[in-house]
Every structure is written in C-alpha cells, then in structure tokens.
Structure 1
Amino acid sequence: MQLDRTHVVIRRRTLAEIGDLSLVMLRRYPQALLIGFFLGAFPWAVLNAILLWWIPFGEAEFGLTDDEALAEIWRYLCWMSLLVVLQAPAAGVATTLYLGQAVFESQPTWGSVFQETKRHFLRWFWALAVVRLAVPAMVLCALRYSLPAQAGFDVMVPFLLLISLAIFRSSRPFLPEILLLEQCPLRSSSAAVITARRRSKSLHQPLASDLGGRFLAISFVLFWLFLSVLYTLLWARGIALGQWDWDLFFLLFLFPAALWIIAGVSVVIRLLNYLDTRIRLEGWEVELAVRAEAMRQFGDEAGLIMMPGTKRSGKAILPGRDTSNANAGGVLP
C-alpha cells in the first residue's frame, strides 16, 4: 500500500474548497449516496413514516388549508425535519466507510463496507443513534401517536432537542469517523487504549471555536440547498403533472426525500472536514508520507506501528486491501 498516493490530495483546504470537493466526490462516487446512504437511510425513513403518517392523513380528510390543519402540518414538518437531522450520522455509516476507503482505493467493495458496518453495529448505533438522541426523539414521537398538537410538547421539546443537537454537532462533529474509520472503542479498562472519548477530546478541543464556526456556516448552506432541492422536486412534479399544491404526496414523499438528499450530502462534507481537521491539527499528510516510506522500506506492517510522539495507535482511515491500481481513477484535487 502506498499511503502517499491517495485519490484525494491530502492538503489543507478552506471551507469553500471543501464544499467544491464534496460535489466532486459525489460525481466520482455517486454510489456512495445512491447505494450506501439509501440503504442506510431507508429503515429510518420507514420508521419516520410509521411514526408521523397519521398527521397529514388525518388532516387531509378535512382539507389542508384551514388554520388548524396548517398547525398540524407544521407540527409534522418540524418533527420530520428534526428526526432526519438526528438520524443522518447513523444513516450515513456505510457512506462514511465507503468514502473513507475510497481515499486509498479506486473502487472499494460494498461487501467489505457492509461487513465493517455490521461488525461495529453496537458501537456506532449506541453512540450515534441512542446517545445522540435519534432513538429518544422517535420514542417521544411514539408516545404522542394520534394525539393532538400540544404547544408545550410540540414546540418546546423539538426546540430543546435542536439545541442539544447543535451543541453535540458543533463541538464533537467527527464521532462517526472516530468510531468507524479510526475504530476507537467506546470504553476500555486499559489506560493505553485511545477510546472514542479521549480521541474526540484530542481532535476537537484544540479547534473548538473553528469547528463551531464551520458548523454554523455549513448548516446555513445546507438549509438553502435543502430549499433548492425541495423546490426543484416541486417544480419537476408541477411541470410533469400540473400539481403545484401541498398534498399528501408532497408531505409523505417529496419533503422527506429532499431532507434525506441533503443529509447524504452533509455526510460527505463532514468526512472532508474531518480530513482537513486532521491535516491542520496533526500534519496528517506528513504522517502518511512517513508511513508510506516505512512500508516501502520495511514492509506493510511497518506502516501500522505507532509513530513516535503520537498519542494514538497506528490506525487511521481504513486502507483498502488492493491498491495495485491506486491511481487508476485519477486524483481528486
């Protein structure tokens, strides 16, 4: 393996360059979104529909234009949006693994990706779905099933969940990469083992203010991208079918589809931001070059030995098994 010959040039980037590169990655690896993220998001999308379908269906019987119906519809839209945002990191685990391997391989295999996803299921599901409030939010929705809107619950609870989400995501955004690509355990009895908590602290704390600023900027851009995708879907349906109004199809399919598309894009942006953070904080491009030379001189095992002066093991983004054609697809700038 030649760690210094990657498909993504390992160098520092501005936030605008990260956004451009994310679009290039999606063009080069569309299967990361069409296969990996779709399969990961599908169970969550089905569960969301089961939890919330009754709101638009119940209001559609009496029309969706009166004030009471609009209040219920906005309740549906808010809860659906919140659930998708909370579930996005867990839904994107396969995409994260695939693109992490794609840094080193021209075409990673989905078999190895899904095998890794299954092998670490308990670890990432607990950290990304339970601790980060996706499952608790779904439980809250289930407890309010078929009940009318209540301001104290349907306004304050989503607001508090959104604040908690912003705190977690802005201060500790790279937990999926730490769990899946660096494979740090959640806990260990040995002080020599770098757990996810220790790794997260060492990676996030030095750049906390910068990561918080990037979180706000990325959230702002993704919001407008979501509106762009949503109105594009509405326009396409309007041109094709002449249907421009909000109806059940829009509420149950188009709106969630737009949310999940942007959620998939956010996974790619987060991964590239993670790479940039490691480069700026740890000089990762230098580490890869040194490890690559050590592997050429002393064999593959030499690249896995801990680098002097580091606080981590030699694990990094998962390398591919077959890199004989490492540059067959070109290098992303």
Structure 2
Amino acid sequence: MMIFLSSSLRLCRFTKCCNNILTTSYSARPVIKEESLQEPPWITVSSSSKTKLKFSPEDLIPPAQLIPKKLDASIENAKNSEGWNKLALESSKIHKHCLALSKIRLTSLVVITTMGGYALAPGAFDPQTFITCALGTGLVSATANSINQFFEVPFDAQMSRTKNRVLVRGHVTPAHAVAFAAISGITGLSILYFTVNGLTAALGAANLVLYTMIYTPMKRVSILNTWVGSIVGAIPPLMGWAGCAGDLLAPGAWVMSGMLYAWQFPHFNALSWNLRPDYSRAGYRMMAVTNPGLCRRTALRYTGVLMGLSYLSPMLDVTNWWFAAASTPLNAYFLYLGELFLAI
C-alpha cells in the first residue's frame, strides 16, 4: 500500500512537470535547483523479512527529486539546439487567432439559433435589441470556446482533428487565451445585461458555466457529457426568445429548445462515430467509444423524439398542423437514416 502511495505521489509530480511543458509557450525556463528531501523514507524493508523482493522500490520508481532536474536539463538542451524555435505573437494575425479561439463556425451557429429564437418569439421586433442580443451571445460563446481550448491543450494535441489548434501549435500562449476569454466574456455579458435584459444575461452566464466547468471536464469522466452538452446547445434559442419576449412562459420557447436538444443526439453521435480513434486516444468518454450500441440506439430514440415534438407543437397551439404535415417527410427520412445507423 505504501509503495502504491509513493508511486502515485511521484507520478503526480512527473505529470505536473509534463503538463507545464505542454501548456507553456515556446520559451525555456531557468533551471531550478532542487534540494534533497528531508523527510524519512515512507517504507523500510526489514532484514528479517522472509519475503525477498526481486526489485526494491528505488529500482522501479525514479527518485522524485531527480525528475524535475532531468526535465529541466532536457529543456536547456533543446534551447541550445538548432531545432529550438521561439514563436513570437504576430500582431497581423491576432484577429485570426482570436477567431480560432472562438471556434468561429460553431459560434456562428450558436448566434444563428439565438437569432431564430428572437425572430420566433411573440413580441415586437426591435432591430437594435436583435443585434445586441446576437452580438452578446456570440461573445459569450467565444469565451466558452476559448476556455474549453485552454483546458484541453494536452488532449487536443493527441487528436488529428484538433492537433492544429492555435494553443496546441503555440501560436498564442495560455495567457493570451485567458485574456481573450475574459475580455469577450465581460463584454458579452455586459451587452446582454444592459442592452437586452437580465434574464438573457443570466442564461448566457449559466450556459458559460455549464460548458466550461461541467461539460468540459465531464468529457473525460462520463458519457453523460453528451446530455449536458445538448443542454448547452439548447439554451441559445431560449436566450433569443427571452431577449424578445422578456420571459420564457410561452410553450413555444420550450418546444423550440426541445427540438434543438433532441436534434443534437443524432447529430453528435453520428459525428463522433467516425472520430472514435481520436476520442479514444485522447481519453474522452464518448458513447461511440465506450458503448457503441448505446450510441446508435440513443441517436434513433432522439430522432423519434424530434418527430414527436413536431406533432406536439400544433397541439399546444405553437404552430398549425401544416407544420406537422410539412415536417413529416423530413422526419421520416431522418428516422430511416437512424435505422441505418442502428444497423451498423
């Protein structure tokens, strides 16, 4: 037991050193002089022990005080070699790096769903509020995506899909990413609060916390991350609705949000299916990796939920029956694709 604890402690120290190298900009840090350990050894082997150890713990586990020295020495050697390239932040590319940190295509989709929620809400259309609601939501989304990339640098480096992100490549430092996230987040929430309303700002803040503090770490813990992530994707249309109507009391807001929530399961499960090697290599617990059968069944189930919501909306007087009739062929084809996915 003591050998296990000693191994765990030294492994944590080694991992911390490696993480510092991965998440630090391309500049060498000075050598830190390590002092010898003062505490007594955690285990002692009695000379009268009947059980002979084939290897002593010191043979199996490198001394903790030697690990940082070896890493520092490797950094110094790399610094002095011809292959060491110090990357400077190019001011002419700052806007491109900021767009990359914000995952501009994903942020654009978030803004579009917010604008759709605003347009469908039963309230007076105010162009100024419409624009500021979309702008504030976009900035909050950029904040969430930047923080997400900040946390996932070591894992993004192991995935083919994400290995060229700006933080992984060292085009910007973690400090730049945090500064960008702070500025865009404060600005976005301020715009939502002062130019739209408090409810929309509260939804934006809640979604920011949900995405960065719950969904992001949960990806490496449980397959429930997909359900949490779907909630994150279903909130932006509620923000648009709240920005126009000032409340979320109408059933239309929840039917619309529910449709987007249900749609994300067949969408993401099919997307993640082709990325199973990447997710597995990075240690992400996705249904497609840990439970492929559940992944396919869940996609089909929520395709059926999406069709059911299309029929529920006229029953709640959110739409008329023409909407249900027009959506039936599309939903039927969607179900057919879900059946094909299930049969894989």
Normalised to the residue count of structure 2, the TM-score between the two structures is 0.23
- The structure showing larger relative contact order (alpha-carbon pairs under 8 Å, at least 6 residues apart) is 1
Report which of the two structures shows the higher radius of gyration computed on alpha carbons: 2
Normalised to the residue count of structure 1, the TM-score between the two structures is 0.24
